[in-house]
């Protein structure tokens, strides 16, 4: 008898807004985002920025974390991500700021945009419109306008690829193998989609392992930690489950000791997932092995390895894996993956609070 996760009707029975379909559309979204970015008439840099920053919140800021990893690997300027109402004091004239808000109405991003404008920064708004798009155009800044109408967490392609394409065009990062990365996740779609049965589908297998458990997601290095945070957010929002990310080697200096007394804290219901590149140093691999050996009697470990050759390819494939896990986990949990009732309630209450 087929497993319920192999039945599209089961996976979508609590999915009236089509979150599964939006997840499946990620490869096509990335391709469309590149077309939009390449068609945007960005003006050239007058001077090379001393600093590049993306300011945004939630799913709109996720692209910034990915871009930061690309910049750290091969960029020519520092890249920071800001998640606040205000920019750091050190932002100056000539610095480059990506103001990223999928809706264009995120209050924190609008406030940070105003800071960037007052500072004389070069601004590129990435948005589907809203107040941000209108204000940026009025102020004479570049706008890369992307399609709207879906939850920001399903719009990573739209929020990331334009930032990378613009940075490449402005000479801040080298050429990226977009085609190779997009082809990889198109292949992953056939491997991890509903049509691939549980027996040969690792995303479904991991969702089953996580069902009813609490996940700790460990990135085996810096860029892997970016993906761990993405997984955490997707599990939170789509499956309405808690998850906690951390990163090697930092966790070897603190969190590993937390496991000593974890047996008294119900960790028999916890699962650890280590996200790997596959080319980590001997020291880094040893750290993961030692931590797993020390804590393995307390928590069940799973490993997920990135696919591909380039950093972009690896990041997108490992992200796509986690997206499917979160959707299948939502189906197993019987929840609507799109539902944002608590977030909406919070925003409504915040709207009544004075600045």
Indicate the helix (H) or strand (E) that contains 279: none
Q: Is a pLDDT exceeding 90 seen at residue 354?
A: no
CATH classification code of 193-333: 3.40.50.10490
Q: Is a pLDDT exceeding 80 seen at residue 355?
A: no
Scored b (16 or more CB within 10 A) or e, 154-182 reads bbbbbbbbbbbbbbbebebbeebebeebb
- Position 332 scores a pLDDT of 98
Instruction: Indicate which residue of 3, 86, 303, 347 is catalytic.
Output: 347
Mean pLDDT of the chain: 96
Q: What is the mean pLDDT of residues 124-130?
A: 97
DSSP for 23-52, written as a single string: HHTHHHHHHHHHHHHHHS-PPPPSS--S-E
Q: Do domains 19-176 and 193-333 have the same CATH topology?
A: yes
253 is catalytic: yes
Note the pTM of the prediction, 2 decimals.
0.95
- Position 101 scores a pLDDT of 97
Domain spans, the chain? 19-176, 193-333
Predicted confidence band of residue 2 (pLDDT cuts 50, 70, 90): confident
Q: Is a pLDDT exceeding 80 seen at residue 253?
A: yes
CA distance 348 to 187: 41
8 Å CB contact between 30 and 316:
yes
| Each residue's pLDDT tens digit, 188-231 | 999 999 999 999 999 999 999 999 999 999 999 999 999 999 99
CATH architecture of 19-176: 3-Layer(aba) Sandwich (3.40)
| Each residue's pLDDT tens digit, 260-297 | 999 888 888 899 999 999 999 999 999 999 999 999 99
| Each residue's pLDDT tens digit, 129-155 | 999 999 999 999 999 999 999 999 999
- Position 344 scores a pLDDT of 83
Instruction: Indicate which residue of 89, 253, 283, 349 is catalytic.
Output: 253
Q: Is a pLDDT exceeding 90 seen at residue 342?
A: no
Instruction: Indicate which residue of 145, 237, 255, 338 is catalytic.
Output: 237
């Amino acid at each position: 008898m087929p497993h319920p996760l192999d039945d599209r009707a089961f996976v979508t029975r609590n999915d009236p807004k089509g979150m599964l379909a939006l997840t499946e559309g990620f490869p096509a979204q990335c391709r469309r985002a590149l077309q939009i970015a390449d068609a945007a008439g960005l003006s050239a840099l007058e001077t090379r920025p001393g600093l590049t920053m993306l300011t945004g919140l939630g799913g709109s800021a996720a692209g910034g974390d990915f871009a930061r990893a690309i910049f750290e690997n091969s960029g020519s300027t520092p890249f920071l991500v800001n998640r606040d109402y205000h920019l750091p004091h050190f932002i100056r004239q000539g610095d480059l700021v990506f103001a990223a808000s999928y809706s264009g109405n995120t209050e924190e991003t609008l406030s940070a945009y105003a800071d960037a404008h007052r500072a004389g920064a070069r601004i590129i708004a990435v948005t589907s419109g809203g107040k941000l798009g209108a204000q940026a155009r009025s102020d004479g800044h570049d706008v890369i306008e992307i399609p709207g109408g879906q939850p920001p967490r399903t719009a990573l392609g739209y929020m990331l690829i334009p930032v990378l394409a613009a940075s490449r065009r402005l000479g801040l990062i080298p050429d990226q193998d977009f085609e190779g990365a997009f082809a990889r996740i198109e292949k992953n779609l056939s491997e991890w989609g509903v049509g691939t049965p549980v027996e040969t589908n690792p995303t479904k297998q991991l969702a089953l392992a996580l069902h009813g458990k609490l996940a700790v997601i460990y990135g085996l290095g810096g860029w892997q930690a970016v993906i761990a945070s993405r997984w955490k957010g997707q599990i939170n929002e789509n499956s309405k489950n808690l998850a906690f990310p951390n990163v090697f080697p930092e966790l070897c200096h603190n969190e590993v000791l937390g496991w000593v007394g974890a047996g008294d804290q119900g960790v028999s219901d916890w699962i650890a997932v280590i996200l790997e590149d596959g080319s980590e140093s001997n020291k880094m691999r040893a750290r993961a092995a030692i931590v797993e050996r020390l804590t393995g009697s307390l928590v069940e470990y799973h490993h997920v390895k990135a696919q591909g050759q380039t950093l972009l390819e690896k990041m997108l494939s490992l992200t796509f894996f986690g997206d499917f896990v979160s959707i299948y986990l939502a189906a197993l949990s019987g929840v609507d993956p799109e539902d944002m009732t608590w977030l909406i309630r919070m925003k409504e209450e915040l709207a009544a609070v004075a600045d």
